[in-house]
Amino acid sequence: MIFVTGGAGFIGSNFVLDWLAQSDEAVLNYDKLTYAGNLQNLASLQGDARHVFVRGDICDQAQVLALFRQHQPRAVVHFAAESHVDRSIHGPGEFIQTNINGTFSLLEAARAYWSELADGEKAAFRFLHVSTDEVYGTLGPDDAPFSETTPYAPNSPYSASKAASDHLVRSYHHTYGFPTLTTNCSNNYGPYHFPEKLIPLIIANAQAGKPLPIYGDGQQVRDWLFVSDHCTAIRRVLAEGRLGETYNVGGWNEKANLDVVHTLCDMLDTLKPKAGGGSYRDQITYVKDRPGHDRRYAIDARKLERELGWKPAETFETGIRKTVQWYLDNPQWVADVQSGAYANWVETNYNNREQ
Ligand code: NAD
Ligand code: DAU
């Protein structure tokens, strides 16, 4: 079996669903169920013996080690993290705790378990750390995309905490020969994306008749990747990645935020026209920029293509259509995640923000 951390979050739950759709190898899904973790994402696996869910914190080294010994995974795929840049600006503490201390704790448990394995199992064991392109900092308009050798220059508490975790993972390979793999991916989008992030937030706010908040001038560029393509990339790296290596994952889909929002508005205008007429674009509102906002991300994913034959299957146009349709088909999922603590976050981030 494989041991997945954070498998109730956005990418983690897509990964678990994809994994079990393609393989009968069981998954132990270890997740703290923070505000971002949602077992409804995994409802289709209810009663499926291949999926074992355990609620827990990656900082709990003793519990993690006990689970490793009990379930004998052949690999760890580590998604668990605090993942929202704006939240890291309002409160960095949890990011340091989970992303740095939690990854350290998980590495220690995994290394202890790995050191007890017999030679064959030891050689086959893998620890795949899921990271982000944000560790590389920000690009100018004419800069080459981030490659695996771009120096780290994180700019937010979130990206700094992910960078620290990447360095820990690297050091465990270098120092202990621990069999690590790291992926650094660009912005994901798709089903089960929590509506604090740009794309699902815009889809939800548009339908609710609320403002569509654009930070600053809206000309910041992100490189978008449909989530199932990220899952495929992780499976490829897990299967055939070279130990100790890092692999950049990206969609070759650089878009300015304002263009993304226009695309979403236009798509919704067609699929779900506004009751009172007009375009959803009328709801666009410019608000004060995110402090330290990175201007441009772009990923050079050629190493992954060259060495492991991975390419994204979706273009932005096909992926975004599937995404909008998924949100239109699943209003209850959105309503459920927006209840409770979500309202507090909206108030913290948007209510007193200058326009
Ligand atoms: P998410 O916030 O949607 O989910 C995170 C999951 O981790 C949640 O289920 C949460 O309950 C769990 N979790 C948080 N703290 C935990 C802890 N201490 N112990 C156990 N579980 C804990 O995040 P996501 O967007 O799915 O991102 C998953 C990973 O991929 C993260 O490591 C993130 O840095 C990375 N990543 C995300 C993107 C993106 O665009 N979303 C892009 C590149 C890399
Ligand atoms: O690049 C990978 C990263 O992508 C991941 O590591 C992070 O976990 C993930 O959250 C994402 O980070 P971003 O900060 O790029 O994503 P977000 O959806 O928060 O914002 C996308 C862009 O949209 C960014 O330039 C900020 C802008 N934005 C965001 C929100 C929430 C707005 O203009 N308005 C908004 O209300």
Question: Residue 29's beta-bridge partner residues?
Answer: 4, 53
342 is catalytic: no
- pLDDT at position 122 is 98
158 is catalytic: yes
**Measured in angstroms, how far is the CA atom of residue 182 from the centroid of ligand 2?**
21
**Measured in angstroms, how far is the CA atom of residue 86 from the centroid of ligand 2?**
8
CB 30 within 8 Å of CB 7: yes
Instruction: Say how far apart CA 66 and CA 53 lie, in whole Å.
Output: 15
Q: Which of 158, 172, 189, 247 is catalytic?
A: 158
66 by DSSP, 3-state: which?
helix
Q: What does pTM read for this prediction?
A: 0.98
Which of 185, 215, 219 has most ligand 2 atoms within 8 Å of CB, for mutation?
A: 215
- pLDDT at position 341 is 81
Hey, what CATH class is 2-189+225-252+293-313 in? alpha beta
Residues having CB closer than 6 A to ligand 1 are: 5-6, 8-12, 31-34, 36-37, 57-59, 79-81, 83, 98, 102, 130, 132, 162, 185, 187-188, 194
CB 77 within 8 Å of CB 238: yes
Q: Where are the domains of the chain?
A: 2-189+225-252+293-313
Computed on alpha carbons and rounded to an integer, the radius of gyration of the chain in Å comes to: 20
- pLDDT at position 353 is 84
133 is catalytic: yes
Which of 11, 29, 87 has most ligand 1 atoms within 8 Å of CB, for mutation?
A: 11
Instruction: Say how far apart CA 268 and CA 165 lie, in whole Å.
Output: 39
Which ligand minimizes its atom distance to the CA of 133?
2
Instruction: Say how far apart CA 140 and CA 154 lie, in whole Å.
Output: 15
**Measured in angstroms, how far is the CA atom of residue 83 from the centroid of ligand 1?**
5
Which ligand minimizes its atom distance to the CA of 81?
1
Distance (Å) of CA 203 to CA 34, 141, 271:
23, 28, 12
Report which ligand 2 atom has the smallest distance to the Cα of 199.
18
Each residue's pLDDT expressed in tens, for the chain with a length of 355 residues? 999 999 999 999 999 999 999 999 999 999 999 999 999 999 999 999 999 999 999 999 999 999 999 999 999 999 999 999 999 999 999 999 999 999 999 999 999 999 999 999 999 999 999 999 999 999 999 999 999 999 999 999 999 999 999 999 999 999 999 999 999 999 999 999 999 999 999 999 999 999 999 999 999 999 999 999 999 999 999 999 999 999 999 989 999 999 999 999 999 999 999 998 999 999 999 999 999 999 999 999 999 999 999 999 999 999 999 999 999 999 999 999 998 788 788 888 998 787 7
